Each structure stands twice: as structure tokens, then as C-alpha cells.
Amino acid sequence: MSDYLIEVKNLCKSFGDLKVLNNVNLGVKEGERLAIIGGSGCGKSVFLRSLELLEKPDSGQIFIDNQEITAKNADINKIRLNMGMVYQKFNLFSHMDVLDNLCLAPVKLLGVAREDAESSALEWLDRVGLTSKIHEMPGNLSGGQQQRIAICRCLMMRPKVLLFDEPTSALDPTMVGEVLAMIRMLTKRNMTMLIVTHEMNFAREVANKVLFFADHGIYEQGTPDEIFDAPKREKTIAFIRKLKYFNYEILSRNFDLLEMQGQLRSFTEKYGIERKLANRLELCAEELIYEVLNGCYKNIKNININMEISYSEADGATLIKLASGGNKFNPFEAELEALDEEHLGVTILKNIAKSINYIYENNKNYIDIVL
């Protein structure tokens, strides 16, 4: 017997030639709250829907409370009773009032007496402040109210785990808070939850584990502090910090400086980088390139310099990374720091940079400058 309430082994799913999930493995213990984050099209919702076989995996195994839902002879509907799914679009029965929406499934599927189902419905409606809406039709409710009713409907089935597929994405911003508040309430009941969300602050608050999806599966996972404060892998860092990139390659000593500056100016304007920082970027890029050209490529004709600038929309952190072939040359060595015309750029860079790092590895010079 596994200790996991949900266990996924080598899950694969493709749509035609499009590979979405590839050998995904995951174990979820009772009481855990997992936030699933990542860019659009990374497979978050497909993964969640696969747990209930709403999307049929191509291969792999899924166990729910030690029952394999992917087994050939599995009683899928019975196993699904352990899970409640909350969708983006509520999916309430439009021809039924709130009470009937809440009571239908427990009466029909669990054999609960109607009177007992109504009593339970009233308890949940009271907890979420919607008792007055008990006989309203869904069309008369706001989006936030409909989503709270949809969550109550899941809870009426007494599931062991709740699956949320971006539960606030279809809501007006003014209604998001009421749904998130209800999910916070469920955390106090030690409810096991998997939540696909784009609300990063909410994910950090309610989850005790965060999964970042990329490259066809779980790219990185950890506690909220580990993922949001100290992500280790490149794509996680870019996603969390909302990094924007500018790249420029130099293959000639007579490169077009004005073209580079024009492209860099367009980059800073596109992402709303403040003018002072934009000016510093242009100055640093120009001075650094000329230092490297004169140092790494002294008496060398074949030039290959790649400059990458990353800017974080989250906190404004800015990094210039330059990689160059040619001779080993560190423009920031002590003997080059004299304030003379030839190396004025070094002094300028050291004055405005927060940190500078140089390494020489595999016959290449690497310089990182944080502004």
C-alpha cells in the first residue's frame, strides 16, 4: 500500500505530433496542497484533467487512494468519487436552482437521502455566505457566486481531494477575491488540493508545495519559498521573475553601434524600463563591447561576441551577460583600472554596477554585470 493519496507514474500525453506530457511522476500525500504554475500551453490543465481521465493518457499509471484509475478493468466512475473537480467555467446546471445543483449528485451517486442532502447544502451555503441564494437560478448569480456554488457542489460529495483548474480565470477581477477566500477556508480543514493557478501570491499563500511545469512535465518543484524566492533552474527563474531578454551578436570589429543602440532602446521602451536604467544599459553595453573587442581580439580577425540582457518585470533586476572567444582577457583586472582614455569604460562600469563577475572557461570569456 502506498502512502500517497495520488500517485502518478511515467504519465505521457500527446495530441497528434504535439507532445504535452512526457514521463511525469508525482506523489501527493493526504493534506498536501499543491499549486501548479507555468506558462500557457505547458500542460498544467492537461495533467489535472488526466487524473480523472477527462484526458486519456497515452501511457503511464495513475493511482487514486491506491486504486489504479488507468487500469483496463478499473471502475473509473467509482474511483472518481474520491475527487472533486472545479472548472474554469463553473458548469452548473442552468435549469436547476442552487439547492438542486448541490443535492443532485449526492442523492443519485451516493444514495444520500434528499433531506440529509438539503441539510448538508444549507451548511455549506452558510459557510460561504450564500444561504440567501438557495433557490436562485445560476444565471441570476455573479461569476464569483457561481464558482463558490460549484466548489460547494464538489464538497457535497465528500471527496478526498479537490482539483482546481484555474478557478478564477473566468472571473471579473472584482470577484476573484471571494473565490480565493473560500479556497483559503478549505486549507484550514486540511483538504488535499491540487490547484492550477496564475495567481502567484495566492499560490504562495495557500500551497505547501509548488510545481512549475515546463518541457512536458514538472520542471522544478519545492516549497513556496524555494520556488518563489530561490528558484534553481533557468526557466523557473525566468517565469517567476518575468524575465525579458535582449540578445545581440557581434561578428565584426566594425559592427553597427547605432543599430544595436536602436534595438536596445526599443527593448527598454517596450517593457517600460525607466529612462535612467535604459541609459545605463546603453552605456554599459557600448563600453563593455569595446573593452572586449580591444582586449580579447587584439590581433585576431574572427570575432564572435554574444551579449544578452535580462530584465525582471517582477523586481527590476537587470543583468548583462557577455560571452566572447579570443584571448583570455578580464577588463576588470586591477592593472586596467587607471583612469585613462583607453580604459575609461572600465571605470564607468565599476561605478554603476552592483556586481561584476568574470570567468574564463572552455576557451571563452564570460562576464556578468548586475545593474
Read off the pLDDT of residues 242-256 as tens digits, 9 standing for 90 and up: 889 999 999 999 999
Q: How far apart are CA 278 and CA 283, in angstroms?
A: 9
Domain ranges across the chain: 6-240, 243-370
pLDDT in tens, 7-42: 999 999 999 999 999 999 999 999 999 999 998 889
Q: Confidence class of residue 188 from pLDDT cuts 50, 70 and 90?
A: confident
Q: Given this model, what pLDDT does residue 40 score?
A: 85
- The pTM score is 0.76
- Of 30, 136, 152, the closest CA to residue 90 belongs to 152
46 grid coordinates:
492537461
Q: Check pLDDT > 70 for residue 334.
A: no
Look at the domain 6-240 and name its fold.
Rossmann fold (3.40.50)
Residue 341's CB: how many other CB atoms inside 10 A? Answer: 5
pLDDT in tens, 283-325: 889 989 998 998 899 888 899 999 999 998 878 889 999 999 9
- The DSSP output letter for 22 is E
Q: Check pLDDT > 50 for residue 78.
A: yes
Please give the average per-residue pLDDT across 338-366, as a whole number. 79
Q: Given this model, what pLDDT does residue 215 score?
A: 94
Q: Given this model, what pLDDT does residue 337 score?
A: 47
Q: Given this model, what pLDDT does residue 341 score?
A: 54
pLDDT in tens, 93-150: 999 999 999 999 999 999 999 999 999 999 999 988 999 999 999 999 998 899 899 9
- Of 160, 169, 147, the closest CA to residue 84 belongs to 160
Q: Check pLDDT > 50 for residue 339.
A: no
Q: Check pLDDT > 60 for residue 340.
A: no
Please give the average per-residue pLDDT across 168-195, as a whole number. 85
Residues sharing a CB contact under 8 Å with residue 157, sequence separation 6 or more, in sequence order: 81, 84, 105, 106, 109, 110
CATH number for the segment(s) 243-370: 3.30.565.10
Please give the average per-residue pLDDT across 321-330, as a whole number. 93
Q: How far apart are CA 187 and CA 32, in angstroms?
A: 9
189 grid coordinates:
480543514
